[in-house]
Amino acid sequence: MSFNFFVNSNITFGRGALACLADLIRGYGFKSAMIVYDEGVRAAGIAGKVLAQVKESGAEYIVFDGVIPNPTNEVVEEAADMAKKAGVDGFIAVGGGSSIDLAKAVNVLMTNPGRIGDYGGMNKVKTPCLPLIAIPTTAGTSSEITNVSALIDTEKVIKYVIIDNKLVATDVIADPELTATMPKSVTAATGMDAITHAVESYISNMATPLTEYNSLKGLEILYRNLPAAVENGNDMEAREQMMLGCIITGFAFSNANLGLVHGIAHTLSAHFGLAHGMANATVLPYVMRYNAESCPEKMAALAEAIGIDLSGEQEKDQYLLSEALLKLTRRLGIKTLSEQGIDEKDLDMVAEDVLKEPVLGFNPRQGVTKEAVLDILKQAY
């Protein structure tokens, strides 16, 4: 047995953890930091709390608050130009996956030449990046501890990923109190994103014993706590457990990669701007049913991890997970593709483009066809 498992970030976890930010900044000796966040983080009052800590540290700083959902190459280049002009020597990313992914991408361009699109794919970043402190405000993407940045190329109309260990945040401040302002729909969608990461990384053909352990443990925590976090946003125990499960799962999928669910979600986001977590959640049960026969024992193990009693009959047990996930998405109010504004006439085009997605190489069921993807999309419609 031989495998590699990469973990790099220092993590400060717990309620009130944000209070350590000033000391972290002083420890790095930042002379000019870029603080990255979006309008939602500012409106929730979280940006103000972060800026208070930055000011306490004594560091100079600039703010980039132009983050958009599914950040594009153009927005990355805009932020990078701003950071270079200011002579930034460190980053603080505050928010969900979009803010943290954007900060990672900008960070690449601070120490590496060219345009951000040059780095799509695996292990193309040659020079180490600047220090990055990631402060998640959602429990979903795990971007705070992964080696991935997901971006939209508006010219090619694709969502692509930069995967490189040099992207990983140097420090993470995981404070569950910062997730308390998330609306129910965002809590549900981001939580289902994390569950998707747990499931897809476990059945990935790149999975190892270490990733499998984290996938199962993360799924167990996420599945048990997501309904409570959605139904009562002030349930801080559930919020804390969701953030913990998200981090644990991030360890798994940043090493094992993902599969067909993400291939479909990336395509939907690129063409229609769908929120990543919602796109994942919509198709997840149907992709798991499609994948079941290729990894029946793993499907049964995932079902067992969320508390389902197995029958001992493989032909039944392999579908228990997909059935449970469908019930969960309905309970949480996850929208169908039609409810998200997708026109049925576009499904054929989406299915065609999904086949171009690199993540399909990690899916347990190989030889994915356009007809199979189209069938999944129709079920999710």
Q: 3-class secondary structure for 99-129?
A: HHHHHHHHHHHHHCCCCHHHHCEECCCCCCC
The confidence score (pLDDT) of residue 225 equals 97
- Structure tokens belonging to residue 246: 């998200």
**Among all chains, which residue has been given the structure tokens 């079902």?**
303
pLDDT reported for residue 2: 80
Q: What is the pTM of this model?
A: 0.94
- Residue 29 CB: number of other CB atoms within 10 A? 11
Query: What pLDDT, on a 0 to 100 scale, did the predictor assign at position 4?
Result: 85
Q: In the CATH hierarchy, which fold is given to the domain comprising 10-179?
A: Rossmann fold (3.40.50)
Strand, helix or coil for residue 365: coil
- Domain limits, CATH 1.20.1090.10, in the chain: 184-380
Q: Do you know the residue count of the chain?
A: 381
Q: What is the pLDDT of residues 190-203, one digit of tens each?
A: 999 999 999 999 99
**Do 277 and 192 meet the contact criterion of CB atoms below 8 Å apart?**
yes
Per-residue burial over 279-299, b if 16 or more Cβ lie within 10 Å, else e, is: bbbbbbbbbbbbbbebbbebb
Structure token pair of residue 334 = 């996850």
Both structure tokens of 381: 């419609």
Bridge partners of residue 158, in order along the sequence: 153
All CATH 3.40.50.1970 domain ranges of the chain, comma separated, are 10-179
List the one residue out of 250, 248, 239, 241 whose CA is nearest residue 177: 239
d(CA 306, CA 266): 27
Would you state the pLDDT for residue 5?
86
Q: Which of 55, 23, 8 is nearest to 247 (CA)?
A: 8
Distance from C-alpha of 60 to C-alpha of 131, rounded to nearest angstrom:
15
Q: In the beta sheet, which residues pair with residue 94?
A: 135
d(CA 256, CA 211): 6
The CATH H-level (homologous superfamily) assignment of domain 184-380 is Dehydroquinate synthase-like - alpha domain (1.20.1090.10)
* Other C-beta atoms lying within 10 Å of the C-beta of residue 68: 15
Strand extents, DSSP E, the chain? 10-13, 32-36, 60-64, 90-95, 121-122, 132-136, 148-153, 158-163, 171-174
CB 34 within 8 A of CB 82: yes
Q: Rounded CA gap, 149 and 159, in Å?
A: 10
Distance CA 144, CA 146 (A): 6
pLDDT under 50 in the chain at which residues? none
